[in-house]
Structure 1
């Protein structure tokens, strides 16, 4: 369960002195060791133990030139990040909401059935005396709301990404190129549900394509 639990432990950046660039879950991209595809053994000149404060020198982020879309995304995100005096600290984040105190019960329920929280009306949709095809259609309408939110957030992100590229790097992508990036990201997100809920993953993919 290490990969799944990793996403629930978020490091909130303060002064950046404890935040490990490569392995902590401090950015929207999770572990940068996995997100930044690179040749075997290469760390782009960044130490394996580098912290964010190590990479912030005299008010500037000292990262190598972006040679991939992934590294460009990380660099753009860093421009939105400001180091402050407070220490870095870890938080448990379940269903996108930080919790102030660790709860074994909450984590157990999350491990046992992640979809239990995501679809609170499941017990109403799937009733013993119901007509299966009616229940299936209703289930799709719960799921459609989730897909709408995912698509909406992805659209805002890639428009913002393109705006920064054009203003700061004089780099331009066509509408088709932007849509391909958005399409690929949403499909990857839908596929990530396959292990915990293969039926939902399949339904979401059918709606998207």
Structure 2
């Protein structure tokens, strides 16, 4: 189109006319059509973001992500998975577990892999998500310890467990603590399962529970700057429930 590589818009726009060669392809026709719809002014150049015909004062990565993502309907358990104050890797693991997307042995067998179907935590029953995280004697023992500390009766059924978390009552800090412990338990059981599978490293329920307790205390302390009153109340509750 006869436009030098180093040309500016001012170089090819003179007296209200775009000085370019006649179009010789469909793409050039498209460019010329666009140019004909534009008019240069003497105002100084400025940079701005225009999204959906709305001018943004500053760029927002989150805003662009929300525009590009597929907006599906929110599931009812959304807020217990992505609860405020949660640990990201625990949130992600709980999300996978809720969708039943963890690569448990029952799913590996469905994919055609030749694996021992028995649970790595109890070695007596076929491994599935529900068995590994809830029904296994090892897992059930862990849940009983922390359910008692929270004053809950945690059902050993995935659907009922989600319903119990959705129907929690009490202060906001208590609900957040329950969700924090729930997701940590899922994460810890999955890590223990993988540790036995890949490194033949076995921990007792007592050892796993002690590690979880330290993680909860550290997480609560990390929330003090954002909400010191809620963090203090949560910490006192957690300490007192261990006695």
**TM tier, shorter chain?**
0.3 to 0.5
Over alpha carbons, which structure has the higher Rg?
Answer: 2
Q: Which has the higher contact order (CA 8 A, sep 6+)?
A: 1
Higher strand share: 1
TM-score, normalised relative to structure 1: 0.35
